[in-house]
Structure 1
Amino acid sequence: MTLVPFDPDRAAAPPASAEDWPAQMRRVAEHQDREAFGRLFAHFAPRVKSYLMRSGSLEEAAEELAQETLVTVWRKAALFNPAQAAVSTWIFTIARHLRVDAARRHRLDGAGDECFEFDALEADQPSVPEQLDATRLARRVRDALHRLPPEQAQVLRLSFYDEEPHARIAAELGIPLGTVKSRMRLAVSHLRKLLDL
């Protein structure tokens, strides 16, 4: 058992109860009450810092983020809604968002680039065998398209190559939408047979 030394200053000011935090937030939001904010800061800043350190932040970064969190609480106190969340939940959510933003900035600023293996990156372009396969397949598709009935090939080209929606194809060709769809189905079915897919 550990004995905590008596602190007369602590005894003089009763600690704010859990129910008191929404009232403190309201005082900050409505009156920019520095005393209420001081209570919030004194209670939550060390807890937020501890949470951030347990989440992997270094002590200095956790200290900065905890202060930034409470500054955000001061600025955005009017946005707090006690019907949606407890004060602690709202504050720790702000802290978590700031930590995620800081981690993103850290990555975007290039931190850690010295450890990154650029040689391990794969090339953006396909390999030579993949390129040859793609060329052969493109030739087979082109040949198969020439073997389709012209009305099927036409709707297929408009849909896949020109990326036209079926309704626009119907309007362009002056045929019903159902006819476009049935021609598409037939064309795809024929292509599968021609390509042995």
Structure 2
Amino acid sequence: MRERHADQMAAIAERQCRSAFAELFSYYAPRVKGFMLRLGAADAEAEELSQEVMIAVWQKAGMYDRSQASVSTWIFRIARNRRIDAQRRQRRPELSGDDPILRPPEIETPDQAVSRDQLDTAVRKRLTCLPQDQLILIQAAFYDGLSHSEIARAFNLPLGTVKSRIRLAFMRLKGELEGGI
């Protein structure tokens, strides 16, 4: 049967033989559908995917090489790849034009720009007042983008010490900024 299927693939590739394809289809389509069901596809999706696989067999028959794999291996590899592609499509969220993240940012008013600049200046000024051990960790976290555990490794400090110093720095900044602005 293995050789017969390989001969049918050759007939499809060379002459676009419909009867050879019909035989392959009747043999493999139900098996591919069962494979899709075992991979977790719903019945309708499994049916659709098996149809797509068999269309790919018809269209790509010329790419089949009997010295590389059996017909069943080749077909089920196509099926597996189609299932993976279908799962990826399902995981992608549908985009909505009403989604706020897709809207352009609102234009900043002059008052907002001045307020932001004043806050930025105040924060930078207050940062210089922090103890050096806290300032270094704040810079590593926010300017260098390191996580707390990366900072702990980089500075050879316990993770709890890193978290405590950053928290103390925030509390100190917050108190000074609330009182000064």
Q: Give the TM-score of the pair, scaled to structure 1.
A: 0.49
Question: 1:135: Cα distance to partner?
Answer: 3.4
* 1:55 correspondence with 2:61: no
* Long gaps (5+) in structure 1: 1-16, 111-131, 141-194
Q: Tell which has more relative contact order, 1 or 2 (C-alpha 8 A, sep 6+).
A: 2
**Pairing 1:98-113 to 2, within 5 Å after superposition:** 98-110=82-94
Pair 1:76 & 2:24 matched: no
Deviation at 1:18, TM superposition (A): 2.2
Q: Deviation of residue 136 (structure 1)?
A: 1.9
When residues 139 and 81 of structure 1 are mapped into structure 2, their CA distance, relative to the original with a 3 A threshold, is closer
Q: Is 1:64 aligned with 2:53?
A: no
TM-superposed CA distance for 1:88, in Å, is 0.1
Structure label with greater radius of gyration: 1
Q: Are the aligned partners of 2:12 and 2:20 in contact in 1 as well (CA < 8 Å)?
A: yes
In the alignment, structure 1 residue 24 sits paired with structure 2 residue 15? no
Q: 2:2–2:70: 8 Å Cα contact kept in structure 1?
A: no
C-alpha separation between the residues in 2 aligned to 1:25 and 1:63? 22
TM-superposition CA deviations, 1:36-71 (whole Å, max 9, x none): 000010000000000110111011000000000000
* C-alpha distance 56-32 of structure 1, shift in aligned 2 (>3 A): same
Unpaired stretches in structure 2, ≥5 consecutive residues:
95-131, 141-154, 158-181
Distance 1:26 1:139, change over 3 A: closer
Structure 1 pair 134–107 and aligned structure 2 pair: CA distance change class (3 A) = farther
Q: What's the secondary structure of 2:2's corresponding residue? A: coil
Aligned residues: 107
Q: Percent identity?
A: 45
- State whether residues 64 and 74 of structure 2, in contact with CA within 8 Å, keep that contact through their aligned partners in structure 1: yes
Q: What is the root-mean-square deviation of aligned Cα atoms in Å?
A: 2.7
Counterpart in 1 of 2:136?
136
Q: How high is the TM-score relative to the length of structure 2?
A: 0.54
* CA deviation vs aligned residue, 1:131-190 (integer Å, no higher than 9, x gap): x977324779xxxxxxxxxxxxxxxxxxxxxxxxxxxxxxxxxxxxxxxxxxxxxxxxxx
